[in-house]
Chain A
Amino acid sequence: MTRLAWWLIRAQFMTRRTATALSMLAIALGVALGYAIHLINTAALADFSQAMKSVQGEPDAVLAAKDSAGRVPLALINEIARDPAVAIVAPVIETRVRVDHAAIHSGAPVKLIGLDIFSAAAVMPKLLPRQDSGGAGMFEDGVHASPALLARLQLKVGAGVTLTRGAARWRTRIVGDLPAARPDDLLLVADIAWVQARFGPPDAVSEGRLRLMPGTRLASWLETWTARLPAGLTLRAAADDTQRVSNISRAYRVNLNVLALVALLTGAFLVFATQLTAVAQRSTQFALLGVLGLSPRMRLLQVLFEGLAIGVPGAALGLALGYGLALAFTRVMGGDLGGGFFSGSTPVIAARLLPSLSFFALGCAASLAGALYPAWLNRVQPLAQALKTGFAQRPPAVHGLYARPRRSVLIASALLPLAALGLTRLPALDGLPLAGYGAIALVLVLGIAVAPLLTQIVFGAVARRALSAPQRVAVQNIVQAPLMAQVAASGLIVSFALTVSMVTMVSSFRLAVDQWLDAVLPAPLYVRSKGMPLPQELLAALERGAAPFARIERSAHGALSLDPQRPAVVLLVREMRRADAAARLPFTGPVVAVATDRVPVWISEPMQELYRLAPGQTLRLPLLGREVDTVIGGVWRDYSRQFGAVVIASDDYIALGGQFEVSDLALWPRRGEEAAAKAWLAAHAAGYGLDIAESSEIRALSLSIFDKSFAVTYALEAAAMLIGLFGLAVTLAASVWLRARELATLSALGFDRAMLTRAVMFEGALIAGIGLGLGLACGIAIGAILTHVVNPQAFHWRMELTVPWLQVLLGAALTLAAGIAASRFAARLATRLPAAQVLASAQ
């Protein structure tokens, strides 16, 4: 038996080289994509948590302010240190400074960490200065620089530097380096007291990192202290940080994984189409083997075995491909999968056994699943009939199933849309749009299920009309041999539906982002300083009349931690009047008037979705070390800050006691002085490491990031279309081959080769037309689900549905043409042999 099985597989692979290779490739693609996503993400997370451990150390818990402008009072640090359950409190002041040394400027701000060497030694050993520069150097005026920073500034230990943050300045010296800093860390470390004396805050620190005594129960300890904390402070388990980071990219990863699953499914479909035709074409051989004693079970196993023979090399290739893809991707784009979540990191890809085996098994399972139905069909083939007349598309055992096709299909086509509609109404499950994905699957099933019914209705009607002989032959073929036609059509339905839906979703999104960029970039020029206030000199110069600007809008950034389980919400302090809000932000709905004695804030759409807020509601924000009751004045559209943003007017922020540390500028040059304005900015901002950009540049950059993040999607669309087309070609060729005798008979009856070819091409066109039509309908439905359900649930932003008709119809036309070309190829294959030989060889 084994020898027979291998012999059959070899024969099968030899005769269907292209089909087999493509099936393998499709499986490989699905496995590769899923595996690559897994590898990249694992590596990026490991990289991130390592980076975090290098800078944050490995505390058990972290005490910090909810507001990035807030502080942890020294008194609280000292109080918590006296808890017998606390082994060490490592206080830290973290800030960003500009580094200048004579003519050398640091450009982008550099992180300055003020630490206490006694506590840091145990909690943050990677931040300790070199031994021989000793603990004592830490107590005096001086900073320690990471090797990467020294290399970038081309400075040596001993160099005098000036550190600047806003109006505060520290003239000091680099007294040592940080040997344990990671090779890409740009860091300065100094004694906490010196950082506090130079940059503040007085009587407070940024964070306390805590080590607890062994045996302390972290959860209950956190609970006890959290209840005692003053407003505006939060205590979190440090182990959650990696988890929270993982959550940041979770929705994005799930989306990509669904795409990988789609690739795998198309692979399974291709295996299905290939094996089905293989079973049909070899029905006589199998029948003969059956008569010679090959049991039905063995016939079933043989087809499954053949499926596995495609799956195993496919999955293995997929693993190799995925590994290579992950490697290439991290080299080129870093570890953020194009999502922009971990930019700057260069993670190391490492394959582990268990996940690799799982992805391998997934590939094999997909090809096995594809072979399942053909295998079963092979088992139930009536031997005698198969020997005599060849493959039975509807074996006797299945007749019952097809007896009431119209009724069951009608019921299904009534119930499935209802079920899909119901699923789209369900909320996200655990933050993921799982019901939405379910609805998409249902739409696809529905499309495939109604295909035969539609075929019969449409072509039944067509067949009753007067047609030319070749056309009549084609139509009759489709109406009466629906299995092959359905297989061919369903491949197209699925692949075209997915393509249309992706194109629809992406173009809707792109259009929405485009419009949104218009709204959020009203000024011609923007200046930004990452993570630190803009230099005082620049702000002062802007105030003077000589500056060639008609209008300036200042703003500042912060971060508020509203929920320890979620990433912080961005706080935007903007120079704007309450009354102007409607004109300054792209609101999604009405703007609520807020009483003059209340503080209005305007929240972004993701924030509204994440925290279930509504305009007019009171929102308690942890601002400036206390809880401040604000009123939500409206919800604005935001496609850039996925975890929420809240805008407050700078006047209100200052009135609350906040310091308006301007970090961003929107600038409107005076009319006719645009070039002068740019030159003025370049001169005044030189050496500060500021980002200066025209709105058009920001816009182009944003759109290019957008396109980059959908690069994987585009690749998949192309793959899906190719697979769909190939499925059509394979099944058409098989069905034509099966009817070689019939074609020969037609030819004997006077059909010439051109007429026969035209008949087959017409058949191909009709099937492709049905597939494309249904695919288009399903695709738009799925596009709507992606846009209105999956996107808001996964990413918390909404947009209008825009179907790019031109692209879609062009795609459909191209596919139709390709389908007709494929059927022409099939027809030429079938009519190549002389009719007499075909007729003679049959029985």
Chain B
Amino acid sequence: MRRRSFLLTPLLLPALAAAGHAVRYAAASRSTRLAFPRDHGAHPEFRTEWWYVTGALELPERDMGFQLTFFRSRPGRAETLRSPIAASQILFAHAAVTRPGAGLLHAERAARANLGAGFSATDCDVHIGAWQMQRGGAGPDQSLRLAVHDAAFAFELLLKPTQALLLQGDGGWSQKGPQPALASHYVSWPQLQVSGSVTLDGRRQAATGRAWFDHEWSSEVLGPGSVGWDWIGINLVDGGALMAFRIRDGAGASVYAHAALRAADGRLTQFGADEVGFTPLRHWTSPRNGASYPVQMEIRCGPHRIRTAPVHDDQEISTHRPLPISYWEGLVIIEGTLGGRGYLEMTGYANSMNL
């Protein structure tokens, strides 16, 4: 869960710092049994939540990457204010498109709920203006609709599931650090079939590909001493799915790690902290801030050894909110004992994530 909550911190730093004591957030609980579609919806009593779609397109261009993330934050402010537009629930969104060889386009939006933005607490339906992520239908006919409109790019995509939901950790309860209190509720939906359109340079083109959906919510932040994390979600070519992450300390050593592999036939294997390793092979240095990202890594998950190869080295995202913050998030090609397309996220290389 920590992995994307950091995005909110520059925006809400003072709010989060000051408000933590006054507000009672819900805590992720191992005993909670998730139910769908209700748990696709928002959990506003938690501090942080996100809905996250990444994918690799075949059309209009092979290995074109895209991502759309909606964050919900409850900063703990204006909680008692009696106004329909009190800033007690805030939404952020990031969207990006990577064209291999050409680079990354990025856009973001922010708004408070009920003032140009909104979310549903009963199903996945979240929007900021015309940007939207919405689940519809039931059973095999269900789908996720994504819509993003920006000056530089736009996409409207329909995502159809080919497999069941993947509840991470223990039935969707996912531990995030050595202390059991650091945990989240975490649901993935790998191997989604993508169709729709992508607009680039004012030209609208048909799009197809494969995507990965994550939905995670929690109230706890990074443990002390942690500065960032590496995370990857991979749609394997054989139909399987692999998720792996590690939390790093200031020296670059792993504080905590975990991985889950679901084979095409549905068999789920979880790997503990000692079974998961991230080894840098090649670094790329950001010309903007000098941060050095291990864009090529060897990732060890139990018996598996895989290597990442980015479709484009510069997939760093810099946001321009009150405090500048940068991280690397992009499409990588996976080779080794398993093959596929994955989205790699590396944080804490340009800025410390310390709160």
Q: Is the CB of A197 within 8 A of B86?
A: yes
User: B77 and A140: CB pair below 8 A?
Assistant: yes
CA distance A83 to B87 in the complex (A): 23
- Of residues 69 through 93 on chain B, the ones whose CB sits less than 8 Å from some CB of chain A are 75, 77-78, 81-87, 90
Of B7-15, B205-213, B310-318, the one contacting chain A is B7-15
CA distance in complex: A191, B127 (Å): 22
One of A129-137, A280-288, A706-714 contacting the partner: A129-137
- Which A residue's beta carbon lies closest to that of B18? A136
Q: Could you say which of B36-44, B112-120, B180-188 contacts chain A? A: B112-120
How long is the Cα–Cα vector from A86 to B151 in the complex, in angstroms? 11
With CB as the reference atom, state the residue of chain A lying closest to B132.
Answer: A82
Residue of A nearest to B156 (CB): A84
Query: With the chains together, A203 CA to B86 CA distance in Å?
Result: 11
A708 to chain B, nearest CB (A): 46
Q: Check A136–B77 contact: CB distance below 8 A.
A: yes
Taking a contact as CB atoms under 8 Å apart, the answer to whether A139 and B77 are in contact is yes
Q: Which residues of chain A are near B117, meaning CB under 8 Å?
A: 81
Interface size in chain A (residues, C-beta < 8 A): 34
Closest to B16 in A: A136
Asked whether A197 lies within 8 Å of B322 as measured between CB atoms, the reply is no
Q: Are A91 and B115 in contact (CB under 8 A)?
A: yes
Asked whether, in the complex, the Cβ of A82 is within 8 Å of the Cβ of B85, the reply is no
Residue from the list A119, A139, A140, A215 in contact with B111, Cβ < 8 A: A119
List, in ascending order, chain B residues with CB within 8 A of A82's CB.
127, 129-130
CB distance from A90 to the nearest CB of B (A): 9
Contact in complex: B322, A135 (CB < 8 Å) = yes
- The closest CB in chain A to the CB of B147 belongs to A84
User: Are A194 and B81 closer than 8 Å at their CB atoms?
Assistant: yes
A762–B175 CA distance with the chains assembled, in angstroms? 116
Q: A76-99 vs B: 1/0 string, CB under 8 Å? A: 011001111011110100000000
Cβ distance B181 to chain A, nearest Cβ, rounded Å? 25
Docked complex Cα distance between A197 and B84 (Å): 9
Residues of B near A135 (CB, < 8 A) are 11-12, 14-15, 322
Cβ B116 vs Cβ A139 within 8 A: no
B243 to chain A minimum Cβ distance, whole angstroms, is 32
B34 interface hit (Cβ, 8 Å) = no
Question: Is the CB of B149 closer than 8 A to any CB of chain A?
Answer: yes
Contact B13 A116 (CB under 8 A): no
Most chain A CB atoms below 10 A, which of B15, B115, B130, B322: B115
Question: Among the listed A83, A87, A136, A196, which residue makes an inter-chain contact with B12, where contact means beta carbons less than 8 Å apart?
Answer: A136
A82 to B84, CA, bound (A): 18
User: Please, which residues of chain A bring their CB within 8 A of the CB of B86?
Assistant: 193, 197
Return the chain A residue nearest B202 by Cβ.
A215
CB <8 Å contact, A139 and B75: yes
Smallest beta-carbon distance A59→chain B, Å: 14
Write out the residue numbers on chain A whose beta carbons fall within 8 Å of the beta carbon of B297: none
A196 to chain B, nearest CB (A): 5
CB < 8 Å: which of A81, A87, A134, A196 contacts B85?
A196
A206-229 contacts to B, CB under 8 A, are 213-215
Let me know if B116 and A119 touch, CB within 8 A: yes
Query: In the bound complex, how far is the Cα of B149 from the Cα of A88, in angstroms?
Result: 12
Taken together as a complex, chains A and B put the C-alpha atoms of A116 and B11 apart, in Å, by 14
- CA A77 – CA B112 in complex, angstroms? 13
In the bound assembly, the distance between CA atoms of A86 and B90 in angstroms comes to: 19
Report B-chain residues with C-beta under 8 Å of the C-beta of A86. 129-130
Chain B contributes a number of interface residues (CB within 8 A of A) equal to: 35
- CB-defined contacts of B149 to chain A, threshold 8 Å: 84, 213
Contact across chains for A136 and B75 when beta carbons are under 8 A apart: yes
A112 to chain B, nearest CB (A): 15
Cβ of A552 under 8 Å from chain B: no
Chain A residues contacting B333 (CB-CB under 8 Å) are none
Q: B317 to nearest A CB, angstroms?
A: 19
A74 touches B87 (CB 8 A): no
Provide the residues of chain A in CB contact with B12, threshold 8 Å: 135-136
Check A805 for interface membership: any CB of B closer than 8 A: no
Q: How far is the CA of A77 from the CA of B129 in the complex (A)?
A: 10
Beta-carbon contact of B87 and A84 below 8 Å:
no
With known contacts A86-B129, A134-B322, A136-B75, A196–B83 Cβ distance under 8 A: yes
With both beta carbons as reference points, the residue of chain A lying nearest to B127 in the complex is identified as A82
Contacts of B83 in A (CB 8 A): 193-194, 196-197
Q: Flag if A139 contacts B78 (CB, 8 Å).
A: yes
Check A116–B129 contact: CB distance below 8 A.
no
Whether A192 lies near B115 (C-beta < 8 A) is: yes
Task: Tell me if A118 counts as interface (CB < 8 A to partner B).
Answer: yes
- Given contacts A136-B75, A136-B77, A191-B87, is CB(A214)–CB(B111) below 8 Å? no
A78 & B114 in contact (Cβ 8 Å cutoff): yes
B116 in contact with A193 (CB, 8 Å): no
B110 interface residue (CB < 8 Å to A): yes
Q: Which residue of A lies closest to B11 (CB)?
A: A135
What per-residue 1/0 map shows which CB atoms of B111-146 lie under 8 Å from chain A? 110111110000000010110000000000000000
A93 nearest in chain B by CB position: B85
User: Which residues in chain B, 151-188, are within 8 Å of chain A measured between CB atoms?
Assistant: 151, 154
Contacts A118-B111, A191-B78 given; does A136 touch B85 at CB 8 Å: no
Query: Complex: how many Å from CA A305 to CA B168?
Result: 96
A residues near B82, Cβ cutoff 8 Å: 197
Q: Is the CB of A77 within 8 A of B115?
A: yes
20 contacts between A and B (CB under 8 A): A74-B85, A81-B111, A82-B127, A84-B147, A89-B116, A91-B85, A118-B111, A118-B112, A119-B111, A119-B116, A134-B13, A137-B14, A139-B15, A139-B77, A139-B87, A140-B77, A193-B112, A194-B78, A194-B81, A203-B84
Known: A74-B84, A118-B90, A193-B85. 6 other contacts (CB 8 A): A82-B129, A84-B130, A84-B154, A116-B87, A134-B322, A139-B78
Interface pairs A-B: 9 shortest CB-CB: A136-B15, A136-B14, A139-B77, A81-B116, A139-B87, A84-B130, A193-B83, A197-B83, A193-B86
